Amino acid sequence: GWQEVEPPPPSSSSYSLDSSHSECSSTETYDVPPPGEPASSSSGPAPAPPPSSTTSSVFSKSVSKCLLPDGRTVCVGDIVWAKIYGFPWWPARVLGITVARRGDTGLAVRQEARVSWFGSPTTSFLPLSQLSPFLETFQSRFDKKRKGPYRRAIAEAASAAKQLTPEVRALLTQFET
């Protein structure tokens, strides 16, 4: 009674041949999408740096001080408030300032400061527009509700800034924990 067992239909074996064949050909003719998708693929809020045209080169040099957009001067070694996306204004010390200028126009294309964060071992590169002088803007930047590491970082920055104004000193001692 072996006749009842049917052999597999021939279509299945030819099917497997077909599928491997089509996979093979599809990889050969596969079109890679062109790189440089529109901005939707870029993540994060940071604006893209201006595209550098091939004709002009950008020269960057370290400077000891630089003018902020609001007209204040920031110097290496200054104590500043610095802002990183997702964090409050946080005290930091300016370690270095780099200004990049275009060779053909002399226009500054990028002004960056390297800062070390108080109360943290990390350093960051930030555009100068995200810095603010520590003492002058203390009252508008200081967050009375924050405690812990933030408060310790403020105290460190304040003592580093030394020339504590009476207002800052009053604010700090008022909130000592």
Compute how many other C-beta atoms are within 10 angstroms of the C-beta atom of residue 25: 10
More confident residue, 175 or 58: 58
Specify if 40 maps to a domain: no
- Average pLDDT of the segment spanning 52-80: 80
Specify if 47 maps to a domain: no
Q: Following DSSP, what letter does each residue of 73-132 receive, concatenated?
A: EEETT-EEEE--TTS--EEEEEEEEEEEEETTT--EEEEEEEEEETTSS-EEEEEGGGEE
Residue carrying the six token digits 């100068």: 128
Specify if 41 maps to a domain: no
Domain harbouring 134, CATH code: 2.30.30.140
* Residue ranges making up the domain that contains 152: 58-172
* CB distance 118 to 95 below 8 Å: no
**Per-residue pLDDT at 127:** 93
* pLDDT bracket for residue 27 (50, 70, 90): very low
Helix, strand, coil: what percent of the chain each, to 5? 30, 25, 45
Specify if 159 maps to a domain: yes
Specify if 36 maps to a domain: no
* CB distance 77 to 64 below 8 Å: no
- Average pLDDT of the segment spanning 134-147: 90
CA distance 163 to 1: 105
Specify if 99 maps to a domain: yes
- Average pLDDT of the segment spanning 72-93: 91
**Per-residue pLDDT at 93:** 95
**Per-residue pLDDT at 124:** 95
Of 8-12, 38-42, 99-103, 136-140, the range with the lowest mean pLDDT is 38-42
- Average pLDDT of the segment spanning 121-126: 94
Counting every residue, how long is the chain? 177
* pLDDT bracket for residue 10 (50, 70, 90): low
CA distance 38 to 26: 27
- Average pLDDT of the segment spanning 24-50: 48
Query: Taking all residues of the chain, what is their mean pLDDT, rounded to a whole number?
Result: 75
**Per-residue pLDDT at 73:** 85
Q: Which DSSP state fits 143?
A: -
* Whether the predicted pLDDT of 145 surpasses 60: yes
Specify if 112 maps to a domain: yes
Question: What is the count of structural domains for the chain?
Answer: 1
